[in-house]
Amino acid sequence: MSTIAALTKPQILNLYRQYIRTAKDFTSYNFREYFLRKARRDFRLYKDQIKTEEDALAKFNMIREELAILKRQSIISEMYTFDKLVVEPIKTPK
Amino acid sequence: MLRHTTTRLLNNISTRNAINRTTIAAALRVIPTRKSLATSATKSKAKHDEDIDDFKLVVHTSADSKPAASKKTAADASSPGSNALKYAYQERSGFGTRPIYLDVQATTPTDPRVLDQMLKFFTGLYGNPHSNTHSYGWETNNEIEKARENVAKVIGANPKEIIFTSGATESNNMALKGVARFYKKTKNHIITTRTEHKCVLEAARAMKNEGYDITFLNVNEQGLIDLKELEKAIRPETCLVSVMAVNNEIGVMQPIKEIGSICRKHKVFFHTDAAQAYGKIPLDVNEMNIDLMSVSSHKIYGPKGVGAIYVRRRPRVRLEPIISGGGQERGLRSGTLSPPLVCGFGEAARLVREEYEADSEHIKKLSKKLTDGLLSIEQTTLNGSPIHHFPGCVNISFAYVEGESLLMALRDIALSSGSACTSASLEPSYVLHALGKDDALAHSSIRFGIGRFTTEEEIDYVIKAIKERVEFLRELSPLWEMVKEGIDLNSIEWSGH
Ligand SMILES: Cc1ncc(COP(=O)(O)O)c(C=O)c1O
């Protein structure tokens, strides 16, 4: 167990980066913004909420599972897209 | 296969000018193949992103899906209001065109995590959850029971007390009609309130036709019922009290716990329509002595077309089923359950518990910002109690502005006027009437719904847009001019009326 339990800082940062990158792939403005907000909150609370190595691992795995869901769903969101919202700037192709 | 269909589509829509053939042809070339999707999954897709962007030209938001109402206003464009409408149509260049969604009391967007749970029932887990002779049935049934547990946990219920239905409308009908009919030999009286959702009011009216006596409790100007009046209304023949937890138009929260203890004291069943409350405010069926509760999935980021009714087992609540058949759901609601819908609902319920604190905090913050921003416009009022109030539903009256014109002028924000469920009619809201608001004020009310996916940027946009357009519409109003000059409108005798 000790090898898994000792989560390293780079491991956590890597998960965080992947989560953010995946959240940004959502074509829906509201979902994208929500998961970005959630990522910031989850990782901000990460340190405070966690007391034991078990907690840390459980939380890590929970986020990792959610990341897998987001990966699938962001692809679906790319297949079914809609017009951009009135608050969203339209990117002009460079 | 996909290409074939698209080619056919191409031929069919050649007459439409919104999307031209060349765009379609271009889009046809970028239909993602399994390989390209896999690439996108592995994120080596800088170029691929652009391809996918083109893909959206083929489908989904159709450019001419404007509602009939907009055609009407276009025809009206010769009237003096046309300036306001032209102003309303003005689009910010460089930005999208799809409106901001602020109507979460009508329905909420489906959370992607919910959809992820649902998909497997369309791709492989297709067994009938009631088939108990083979593994196809068992595996689906397992998922259904997990969902039932998640739905029950939100309100502190036992999973056995949850009956899945098609939504809160069905649950409300079941509660009112089912309980009343079961106890009809000894009891014939139902108590409810004037501000309930249409489906409770109509179900009560239907029971009136069946010979039951109905008491509709009044509410005060805050939208709250009087507990003493409720207690006085209870008779020996009363079988059911039905009071909603959170009002769908004004967000007022009734004192559910107090009502529960009154009902328990008089041994009357207590039903609450919690469609707008479930997962959003703390609810506990035991602590609050609730005997029946209606909930709906699509108000908590789940799929539409599914909901549940909580039916207490101890002391047991008996009700006559409305739908007879194979005896599913403890015989109270026959018919094969829809596993994707039920499990989507279950996941939505799980999430609503997990995200409770974050969602509440977010909604509260945005609600405060919106309310402060809008109430800083002169002659505006918040409808309903500001204290016993769910912050995600903000109902505001803009005096001297007609609600419907304001909605027309706010085409970039999806909102609903006070008269929520009958948005096509010009009838002012019966809920606001029940609060004692006059027709004019009821007509000038708008409901703003804030949810999990609303952003601060959207709220800022909305505050600015409403400020500008209320001001603009008031400039056009002769009444407003008189108010500005200090004329008391009530002192004027209107003639020719
Ligand atoms: C308070 C209330 N009750 C019942 C309903 C109806 O719910 P459903 O759409 O699930 O039938 C709604 C939604 O419109 C509601 O707000």
Digit-coded pLDDT (tens) for B64-77: 444 444 433 433 43
Nearest CA to ligand 1 atom 15: B275
Q: Report how far residue B163's alpha carbon sits from residue B171's, in angstroms, rounded to the nearest whole number.
A: 9
Q: Rounding to the nearest 10 degrees, give the CA dihedral for residues A9, A14, A16, A20.
A: 160
Q: Which residue has the higher pLDDT, A64 or B35?
A: A64
Catalytic residue among B239, B343, B393, B421: B421
Res B461: pLDDT: 96
A→B contacts (Cβ < 8 Å), by residue, are 21, 26-27, 29-31, 33-34, 37-38, 41, 66, 69-90, 93
Q: Residues of B with CB below 8 A from A70's CB?
A: 112
Q: Report how far residue B396's alpha carbon sits from residue B371's, in angstroms, rounded to the nearest whole number.
A: 8
CATH of domain B80-108+356-491: 3.90.1150.10
| Phi-psi sector, B223: left (phi>0), alpha (psi -120 to 50), beta | left
Mean pLDDT of A23-52: 89
Q: In B88-235, which ranges are E strands? A: 100-101, 162-165, 189-193, 213-217
For chain B, give every domain's residue range. 2-60, 80-108+356-491, 112-354
Q: Are B13 and B64 in contact (CB under 8 A)?
A: no
User: B169 C-alpha to center of ligand 1: Å?
Assistant: 6
> B307-311 and B162-165: which strand pairing?
antiparallel
C-alpha closest to that of B454 among B389, B388, B393, B377? B393
- B450's CB contacts (< 8 A; 6+ apart) are B102, B104, B363, B366, B367, B370, B391, B392, B393, B394, B459
Q: Report how far residue B286's alpha carbon sits from residue B267's, in angstroms, rounded to the nearest whole number.
A: 15
Mean pLDDT of A49-68: 87
Res B249: pLDDT: 94
Give the chain B residue whose CA is nearest to the CA of A21: B43
**Å between A78 CA and nearest CA of chain B:** 7
B344-396 pLDDT, tens per residue?
999 999 999 999 999 999 999 999 999 999 999 999 999 999 999 999 999 99
Q: Which of B276, B333, B338 to mutate to test the pocket of ligand 1 (most atoms within 8 A of CB)?
A: B276
Res B165: pLDDT: 97
Which amino acid, residue A56? Answer: A
B241 strand-pairing partners: B191, B270
Res B496: pLDDT: 52
Q: Which ipTM did the prediction report?
A: 0.91
Active site residue B421: yes
Res B416: pLDDT: 86
Which amino acid, residue B441? Answer: L
List chain B residues with pLDDT less than 70: 1-91, 418-426, 492-497
Res B82: pLDDT: 45
Q: Residues of B with CB below 8 A from A71's CB?
A: 41
Q: Are B356 and B279 in contact (CB under 8 A)?
A: yes
In this structure, which topology does domain B112-354 adopt according to CATH?
Answer: Aspartate Aminotransferase; domain 2 (3.40.640)
pTM of the model: 0.84
